[in-house]
Amino acid sequence: MSDKAIRKIVIVGGGTAGWMTAAPLALKLGASCEIVLVESPEIGTVGVGESTLPTIRYFNHALGIDGTDFVRRTKATFKLGIDFCDWGHLGNRFFHGFSDFGPTIENRPAFMYWLRLARDNPDMPSYEEWSISTAMAHENKFVPPHGDQPGPTNAYSYGFQFDAGLYALYLREYAMARGVQRVEGTVGHVEQHPETGFIAALQLKDGRRIDGDLFVDCTGFRGLLIEGVYKSGYEDWSAMLPCNSAQAVPSALADQLTPYTRATAKPAGWQWRIPLQHRNGNGHVYCNAFMSDDEAGRVLLDGLDTEALDTPRQLRFTTGRRRKSWVKNCVAVGLSSGFLEPLESTSINIIELAVGWLIQYFPDRDCNQELADEFNRLVAQRYEFVRDFIVLHYKLTNRTDSEFWRYCADMPIPDTLQHQIDLFRSAGRITIYDREGFQADSYAAILLGHGIRPERTDPLIDRMDQARLLDHFRKVHATIRQVVGAMPGHAALVAQITGEPIRKS
């Protein structure tokens, strides 16, 4: 081992970000590096990131986590996508599923062929009927995809809906079993090296001193180290994403355990509903310039479909990101790095990526600036790509029933996002800047779901025989219906995995 190798990592802050950082570091470095996590009993966690993208499965798999044990211990349910209600216009409903709209045809997405058929056949069924994840969600069915043969019945993925607090405890147990030391205490002072400016140690309020070589800031919105010490700066995106407040409340289980998250647009924002094994997670994300906190609380409670189990908890935030997430020997992960509202369940995914990049560009004690620059570039790019995808949901609105939605329709957006919208409106094509993020079928789900129909369709697709295309779509549709019809119900599968029936609170 080099004499400049990192000997001790100090993670400041627990919760989801802290323990998602500690677990893979312990797996990778536990035998050769001391890892300490400091968390304060005085500081609560946000705990709203209970809905995930499918990438969480790969994160868990890389840790060697048993899937069945994970579902049991975190009260998890399965997630096929997000059900959007009242987005675009009142009464509208569409689904963003973790699947395509049928297999590609001559290397073009199936939805492009649907557009051609729908143009010439007014009675053409909805494009969603060729999305197996959407078909499963509408019938509350779920089974993991199986087999390795491509086709419409296994071309889908899934994430989870789980209790973020239980997940943090689960990873805490995992990390501590692999050598991570947990210190309970509150940071009172941060020592810096007088010449380099590197963080040398943390002074806890009770007098204990914790030194280290690399410090990971998982202190949430405060950014205790990245902002409190290094004044990293913050890029404010409120002009494009004006929501700055949220209220969260648990409620009793509904009669149906849905394998999806619901996002319902409200007069000044939107409301989430996330079904777990033991309760529903609910929250109202809104802009307090357009709605008072009292009114927002009433909207939240009135929008519940089951009895509230507590009083709403207030949260404040500013959408944006740190200008730098890695400064000297300090790396910010999670909310200390930036915040994007949980509309597309991307918060935990960004943590997964940041921890992966930290391991990929892991430094020695000199913390080479070029490594930090590359990490900062990747993190900044990730936040910007996700930001634009979320902005898309707001910008496409046709709602004029409130000042908030009128603002969203008129607000300026990045030129790159405007190009994506204009290209689809005019020619039915989708350009993707982010090859590792949301792909064409995800953009199609949002664009088509908001009622956008292109002025023209692909002229090469127009050359194809319509009868053959209709026959192909009919066969795919019949196959999806047959397979989904034979699947078990979501609640039944969860009960089978956990060994316990799903009971209402």
Q: What is the pLDDT along the chain (505 residues), one digit of tens a residue?
A: 678 999 999 999 999 999 999 999 999 998 899 999 999 886 655 445 489 999 999 999 999 999 999 999 999 999 999 999 999 999 999 999 999 999 999 999 999 999 999 999 989 999 999 999 999 999 999 999 986 555 667 789 999 999 999 999 999 999 999 999 999 999 999 999 999 999 999 999 999 999 999 999 999 999 999 999 999 999 999 999 999 999 999 999 988 999 999 999 999 999 999 999 999 999 999 999 999 999 999 999 999 999 999 999 999 999 999 999 999 999 999 999 999 999 999 999 999 999 999 999 999 999 999 999 999 999 999 999 999 999 999 999 999 999 999 999 999 999 999 999 999 999 999 999 999 899 999 999 999 999 999 999 999 999 999 999 999 999 999 999 999 999 999 999 999 999 987 765 4
Q: Is the dihedral of CA 43, 44, 45, 48 positive or negative?
A: negative
Angle, in degrees to the nearest 10, between helices 15-29 and 164-177: 30
Strand 93-97 to strand 320-322: parallel, antiparallel, or no bridges (unpaired)?
A: unpaired
Regarding the domain delimited by 8-76+162-236+320-386, which CATH topology (the fold level of the hierarchy) does it fall under? FAD/NAD(P)-binding domain (3.50.50)
The encoded tokens of residue 180 equal 């991570």
Closest CA to 390 of 312, 336, 338: 338
CA 162 from chain centre, in angstroms, equals 13
Q: Please state, in angstroms and rounded to a whole number, the distance separating the CA atoms of residues 502 and 322.
A: 42
Angle, in degrees to the nearest 10, between helices 369-395 and 403-410: 120
Q: Please state, in angstroms and rounded to a whole number, the distance separating the CA atoms of residues 367 and 4.
A: 10
φ/ψ (deg, to 5) at 314 = -85, 140
Enclosing H/E stretch for 161? strand 159-161
The b-or-e profile of 468-491 (16+ CB within 10 A means b, else e) is ebeebbeebbeebeebbeebebbb
Enclosing H/E stretch for 166? helix 164-177
Strand 209-211 to strand 199-204: parallel, antiparallel, or no bridges (unpaired)?
A: antiparallel
The domains of the chain are located at: 8-76+162-236+320-386, 100-124+140-155+414-485, 245-316
Give all strands (DSSP E) within 209-318, no chain letters. Answer: 209-211, 214-217, 234-236, 245-251, 261-266, 269-275, 280-286, 313-316
Q: Please state, in angstroms and rounded to a whole number, the distance separating the CA atoms of residues 471 and 469.
A: 5
Q: Please state, in angstroms and rounded to a whole number, the distance separating the CA atoms of residues 43 and 37.
A: 14
Query: Rounded to the nearest 10 degrees, how much is the dihedral formed by the CA atoms of 321, 324, 329, 334?
Result: 20
Q: What is the pTM of this model?
A: 0.96
Query: Do 267 and 256 touch, CB atoms closer than 8 A?
Result: no
- Residue 505 is predicted with a pLDDT of 46
Of the residues 79, 141, 328, 395, which is catalytic? 79
- Residue 47 is predicted with a pLDDT of 47
- Residue 487 is predicted with a pLDDT of 94
Q: Please state, in angstroms and rounded to a whole number, the distance separating the CA atoms of residues 398 and 450.
A: 8
3-state SS string for 335-396: HHCEECCHHHCCHHHHHHHHHHHHHHCCCCCCCCHHHHHHHHHHHHHHHHHHHHHHHHHHHC
Q: How many CA atoms lie within 13 A of 266 on its CB side?
A: 27
Query: Do 419 and 431 touch, CB atoms closer than 8 A?
Result: yes
SS3 298: helix
Q: Is 324 a catalytic residue?
A: no
SS3 292: coil
